[in-house]
Amino acid sequence: MTKLSPSELQEIAKKVRRDIVEMIYKAGSGHPGGSLSSVEIMVALYFGIMEDADHFFLSNGHVCPALYAVMAEKGLIDKNLLSTYTEIGSTLQGHPERTKLKGIENTSGPLGLGLAQAAGYAAIKKDTFVFCETSDAEHDEGNHWEAVMFAAKYKLNNLIQIIDRNRIQIEGTVEEIMPLGNLIGRYKSFNWNVIEIDGHNFNEIFEAVERAKKEIKYPTVIVANTVFGRNVSFMEGNPNWHAKAPNELEYKKAMEELK
């Protein structure tokens, strides 16, 4: 894969953020906060990490505007499709569907289910790397922890989970709604290889994935600390923007900030 420079990647990330805001504004619904926080993770995966044989499972499917926009930038889907997000008949569903859009590995949206599917895939396809983005809040779900145990038991060193650790969920901060405690310590106690990074720093994402690929015994979790609503000042860290479309004024302000 041709390596892009950090400034080139940042340029792509900026375009993706503009696409996200525009899609959600046009649709009148969507999840801007988590979409904006996961941009660098997905740009890094699609533009600097994943080889043809690799796979990406998105567990927190509500951030699909980020995935759709990254796929469009990458040329995997037609860019004109983006404006049809959530429209009746569109392949870009409000939550991504495997049978509707080529390139989507798993239908998702209901939380806590993605890591298990990624783990199942990784257990069979040992010769490929399987990446899975999850959210911190979906760690509330029991199903997620069942997969955490399975992946460690079967030593799925080809499974690389990246947690978009934006610390916000629907009704408040993760600390308020359901504290996750020592998340890193919890993964360590489950026998996972744990790496903590700044989830908006491309070099840190690349380095972490390189280390994960060298892990010979255990699955890896990369805890990517991110900012909810990243780069739109009035969305940053504000739970009100979990599932809300900007109005016209907010849209214009956001696009101005993302120039």
Partner 1 sequence: MKSTRDGFGEALVELGSTNPDVVVLTADLADSTRVKDFADKFPDRFFQVGVAEQGLVTIAAGMAEAGKIPFTTSYAVFSPGRTWEQIKVTAALNDVPVKIVGAHAGFGASMYGATHESLEDIALMRIIPNMIVVSPCDYEEAKKATVAVANNGKPSYIRLARQDSPILTKPDGKFGIGKANILYEGKNPQVVIVGTGPVLSEALEAARELEENGIGAIVINLHTIKPIDEQTLVHWAKIAGAVVTVEEHQIMGGMGSAVAEVLSRNFPVPMEFIGVKDLFGESSRDYNELWKKFGLKKENIIEAVKKVITRKNI
Q: Which residues in this chain contact partner 1 in the complex, by CB under 8 A?
A: 27-30, 61-62, 86-90, 92-95, 97, 107-112, 137-138, 140-142, 169-171, 177-178
Which is closer to partner 1, CB of 4 or CB of 81?
Answer: 81
Q: Is 74 exposed, middle or buried (0-12, 13-18, 19+ CB in 10 A)?
A: middle
CA-atom Rg of the chain in angstroms? 17
**Smallest gap, in angstroms, from Cβ of residue 7 to partner 1?**
36
**Smallest gap, in angstroms, from Cβ of residue 237 to partner 1?**
17
Q: How many residues make up the chain in this entry?
A: 259
Which is closer to partner 1, CB of 145 or CB of 154?
Answer: 145
Residue type, 35: S
Which is closer to partner 1, CB of 175 or CB of 210?
Answer: 175
**Smallest gap, in angstroms, from Cβ of residue 146 to partner 1?**
11
**Smallest gap, in angstroms, from Cβ of residue 84 to partner 1?**
10
Helix axes 64-74, 6-27, angle to 10 degrees: 130
Rounded CA-CA distance 214/44 in Å is: 18
Which is closer to partner 1, CB of 107 or CB of 157?
Answer: 107
Question: How many other CB atoms sit within 10 Å of the CB of residue 124?
Answer: 8
